[in-house]
Structure 1
Amino acid sequence: MINIILCGGSGTRLWPLSRTMLPKQFVRLFNNHSLFQDTVLRNQPVCSHTFVVSNNEQYFLAVDQLNQITADSAQFLLEPVGRNTAPAIALACMALDADDLVLVTTSDHLVKDQAAYETAVIQAKALAEQNNLVTFGIKPTYPEVGFGYIEADGNDVLSFKEKPDALTAQSYIEQGNYYWNSGMFCFKAGVFLAELQKYAPEMYQACLDAMPKTGCKTEIRIDLEMMNAISEDSIDYAVMEKSNKVKVVPCDMGWSDLGSFDALFEEVKQPGQDNAVLPRLEDSPEPICIDSKNNLIVARERQIALVDVEDLLVVDTSDAILISKKGSSQKVKEVVAQIKKQTPELTEIHRLAHRPWGTYEVLQDSQQYKVKRIVVKPGSKLSLQKHFHRNEHWIVVSGTATVTVDQNVFFVRPNESTYIQMGQLHRLENQGKIDLVMIEVQVGEYTGEDDIVRVDDDYGR
């Protein structure tokens, strides 16, 4: 069986912890693992192969995190833009054999009971082998209004329900045969595609047209124009709610979609503790809490102190702080919408940003200058590029930099520096065996990340 992991999404409901360039599935939340890494590890005992559907920008994060857990190599399908779950799953299935069994999972959900999970997957696999489209229904623990529900009679699906109001959700809980829609599925690739062709023929054909006819099977890249031609829809609306081949596996596996800080609080809190504190980064200070209880504290770097407060969500990152009442964290999406208008970079990227060649961290960002700490991995290089609005000063801290400026190529060693004039074509490369660490000082009228003209790039950007 093949595990198709849907790895898109920006995780705006967990801002400022989650950003477009580091969405929640890649944030290290528990046991120094990301949810994406946990998803891969969780499915390795029940699946023989991993197939990741991601966007171009998050591809390198996924590859790096796979390498960190020494997972087997994965197959990738890279979307230039997201078109929701139905096209993503369809494109992945088109890259497989019709008889291949697939287990479709999200990359950003939490499952705490591995044994119950594996039992549910085995049940789903048996139903899928009989040419059914199988979904997983989570036994609800409270009347959640943010999830869709599945009405079931054993393994038979009676109906799919939209997100209910509070009274309706309570009635579902009382009836006992309603389950949260988990967004996980199991079926044969060919069976799903046949149902998609039956119920959404235009989408099916657009996906078929978008699939490259030649190229690398382990890294499939979809053309932007062809991707935009595919209609946007979820697998539930496109197929599951219409097909007569749908079955459900009711299960109780300690599942959470971690879709809000309120949900995160429920997973982080420990018996006997007054507050829920997300595991901190190494060497970050312990929060100080005086006569304060029932709070979620996400303290990544700075000292956090709470005095005489209750029922708060306090999320601190290097460039933004969120403070909310518990129960109101769904409104974070409204915060993100406003920040996109005022300071869009705060929704897109952290001060510490991951790139395919390494990382950079913004140490200082002021009018007309910016200071960065850049780390380039051994054997990696940045794009050949130029800027129209800034000059750059590079100072090497450790390692050796191979620098290209116009037609000149030279080495810069620790405690040495070089200067890149505005408009000059340049490239930074690490040909050594250890990380290259350097400080970059940008000076100019504009120092935004979009002031980059790439002439040549190993990563197809």
Structure 2
Amino acid sequence: MKTLILAGGSGTRLFPLSREHYPKQFIKLFDEESLFQKTIKRSLLLSTPKDIYIVTNKDHKFIIRDQLAEIGCDCTVLVEPEGKNTLPAIYYGVKAIAEGNGSSPVAVLSSDHLIDADDRYVEAFRKAERLSRDRLVVFGVRPTSPHTGYGYIRPGEVLEDGYAVDAFVEKPDLVTAERYVADGYLWNSGMFLFNSELFLAECASLAPDVVEAFKNPAEQAYEQTPKVSIDYGIMEKTQRAAVVPFEADWNDVGNFDALYGCLPKNGNNNAVRGEHIGIDSRDNLIISDRLVATVGVENLAIIETKDAILVANRDEAQRVGEIAKALHERGDARAAFHTEVHRPWGSYTNLEEGRAYRIKRVTVPPKRRLSLQMHHHRSEHWVVVTGCAEVTVGDATYLLRNGESTFVPAGTVHRLANPGMLPLELIEVQIGEYTGEDDIVRFEDDFDRT
């Protein structure tokens, strides 16, 4: 079996934990592993590493590289030039799989679900694999509550390993959801299993504009393909849709109320990550690196990061995405970035900034380097904290060790590299009337950003 993992998306309903450039699938929320890493490990129950394909975007491909390396797994990564919803992403991946492997069963997974991969998990995929010979299979989760945040599937004719799909229905109101649960409807999990040959044939029939676009290289294909979901573009139209009930524990971690349900609770039914003192406080989700003290509160989500604090009623958790949207509309970088910003060469953390200065902590893993670059409006002073830095300033190249420093005047071509075997960490002090990230002129770059 081949596995195709969708690893784009912004996860705005988990703001401020999740940001556009570091969404929820990459946050290490459980057991010091990200949801993406857990998805890879589940995939290894079905596929070898060379049979796992990942579709992501250019902002996340280097995060994926590093997280794959952490768990020692080397997979094929396909990069979308832009997001066009799930059908183009899945078509892109399945087409690549078919070109390299011919007709194959392909499991399509989201990278941001939390699933208990027990025997029931494997059995569901084996049933779907048998059905996929002449069906496009979706996995339907048995509801644990009348949830209004999921689409539903109405099972129809009984098949040997599942059901024909009688109908896909949109997210309901509460009264309708209660009726759906009573009538045996299933939650639409967003996970699928297709035979690659059958899927591509159905796309040719039902989504010819997508197929026509992908006769071109990826850049042109994504310019031409419509923006359409797999549900609307294929599953709701095909006569071959089938559903396999999914019995394993499943959670899409779609908001803070869902996250609360995944975490262990203390004696007052609070789910806490960090330090908390609660007086008459219960049923709260609290995540913070600092002490959080509460008195007489219940059913809240209190989420603190280095640059933002969220306080919300857990019953209103679905609306947190409105905050990220408001920040995005006013051009606030906090919608996209944490104080720690990941780059292809490593990361930096904004420590402090004011008028005409900014202070960062810069971390460069072994054997990586920044671009050869120049700034028009700022100078930089680098002080090495740990590791060894290879510094190029103008025509000079030299090594700096912990405690040593150098100065890069504005307008000077320069480069920072880590030639050593240990991570390099340094403090960078920027001085200038403008310290924005767009004041970079790149001359050479290992990551094709010139």
Q: TM-score of the superposition, structure 1-length normalised?
A: 0.92
Cα distance in 2, alignment partners of residues 343 and 372 from structure 1: 22
> In the alignment, what sits opposite 2:372?
384
Residues 1:412 and 2:400 aligned together: yes
Q: Which residue of 2 aligns with 1:171?
A: 179
Whole-Å Cα distance in 2 between the matches of residues 198 and 10 of structure 1? 31
Aligned: 1:309 with 2:309:
no
Decide whether the 8 Å contact of 1:42 with 1:114 is kept in 2.
Answer: no
Task: Write out per-residue CA displacement over residues 114-139 of structure 1, whole angstroms, 9 at most, x where no aligned residue.
Answer: 221111011001111x2311110000
Q: Decide which moves more: 142-151 or 444-453.
A: 444-453
Contact 1:136–1:184 under 8 Å retained in 2: yes
The aligned residue for residue 50 of structure 1 is: 52
Aligned ranges 1:27-426 → 2 under 5 Å? 27-48=27-48, 49-71=51-73, 73-97=74-98, 98-128=102-132, 130-153=133-156, 154=158, 155-176=163-184, 178-210=185-217, 222-223=218-219, 225-270=220-265, 272-278=267-273, 280=274, 286-299=275-288, 301-342=289-330, 344-426=332-414
AA matched with 1:127: L
Deviation of 1:408 (Å): 2.5
RMSD: 1.5
The separation in 1 between residues aligned to 2:107 and 2:268, in whole angstroms, is 38
**Amino acid in structure 2 at the alignment position of 1:46:** L
Deviation at 1:185, TM superposition (A): 0.6
Q: Which amino acid aligns with 2:60?
A: Q
Amino acid at match of 2:228: D
Q: Which digits, 9 at most, give the CA deviation of each residue in 1:256-303, with x for residues without a partner?
A: 11110011111114374431113x4xxxxx21111111110011x211
CA shift digits 1:232-255 (9 cap, x unpaired): 101111111111111110122111
Residue by residue over 1:201-239, the C-alpha shift from the partner in whole angstroms, topping out at 9 and shown as x without a partner, is: 1111112213xxxxxxxxxxx32x542222110111111
Q: Which amino acid aligns with 1:359?
A: S
* Secondary structure, aligned partner of 2:244: strand
Deviation at 1:112, TM superposition (A): 2.3
Could you tell me how far apart the structure 2 residues matched to 1:340 and 1:68 are? 32
Alpha-carbon distance in structure 2 between the residues aligned to 1:256 and 1:337: 24
Q: CA deviation at 1:343?
A: 5.6
Write the letter of the residue equivalent to 1:441: V
The structure-2 alpha-carbon separation of the partners of 1:123 and 1:272, relative to structure 1 and needing over 3 Å to count, comes to farther
Distance between the aligned counterparts of 1:185 and 1:453, measured in 2? 44
- Offset, 1:350: 1.1
Distance 2:108 2:148 in 1: 24
Contact 1:91 1:208 survives alignment (8 Å) = no
Contact 2:42/2:117, CA 8 A, preserved across alignment: no
What is the CA–CA distance in structure 2 between the aligned matches of 1:460 and 1:196, rounded to whole Å? 33
Residues 13-22 or 418-427, more deviating: 418-427
Residue 362 of structure 2 aligns to a residue whose secondary structure is strand
Question: Which letter does structure 1 place at the counterpart of 2:201?
Answer: A
Q: Which consecutive residues of structure 1, in runs of 5 or more, have no partner in the other structure?
A: 211-221, 281-285
Distance 1:106 1:326 in 2: 24
C-alpha deviations, 1:157-216, integer Å up to 9, x for none?
10110111111111101112x111011111111211111111111111112213xxxxxx
**Per-residue CA distance 1:25-77 (angstroms, 9 max, x = gap):** 00001111100011011121112321010111111111111111122x10010
* Kept after mapping to 2: 8 A contact 1:2/1:101: yes
Residue type at the aligned position of 1:55: N
The residue that corresponds to 1:441 in the other structure is 429
Contact 1:4 1:51 in 2 (8 A): yes
Q: 1:346 Cα deviation (Å)? A: 0.8
Taking the aligned partners of 2:404 and 2:89, their CA distance within structure 1 comes to: 48
Mapped partners of 2:369, 2:183: distance in 1: 59
Q: CA deviation at 1:449?
A: 2.0
- Aligned-pair distance for 1:24? 0.1
Question: Partner letter of residue 135 of structure 2?
Answer: N
- How much identity, in percent, do the aligned residues show? 44
SS at 1:259 equivalent: coil
Aligned-residue offset at 1:147 = 0.9
Per the alignment, do residues 271 and 140 of structure 1 end up closer, same or farther by CA in structure 2, a change over 3 Å counting? farther
Query: Structure 2 counterpart of 1:115, which letter?
Result: D
1:400-441 deviation digits (Å, cap 9, x = unpaired): 211122332222222221111222221101111211111100
- Distance in 2, matches of 1:140 and 1:302, equals 36
TM-score, normalised relative to structure 2:
0.94
**Structure 2, unpaired ranges of 5+:** none
Alpha-carbon offset, residue 113 of structure 1: 4.8
Q: Distance in 1 between matches of 2:204 and 2:411?
A: 51
Which amino acid is 1:231 matched to? P
Q: Is the 8 A contact 1:86 1:238 kept in 2?
A: yes
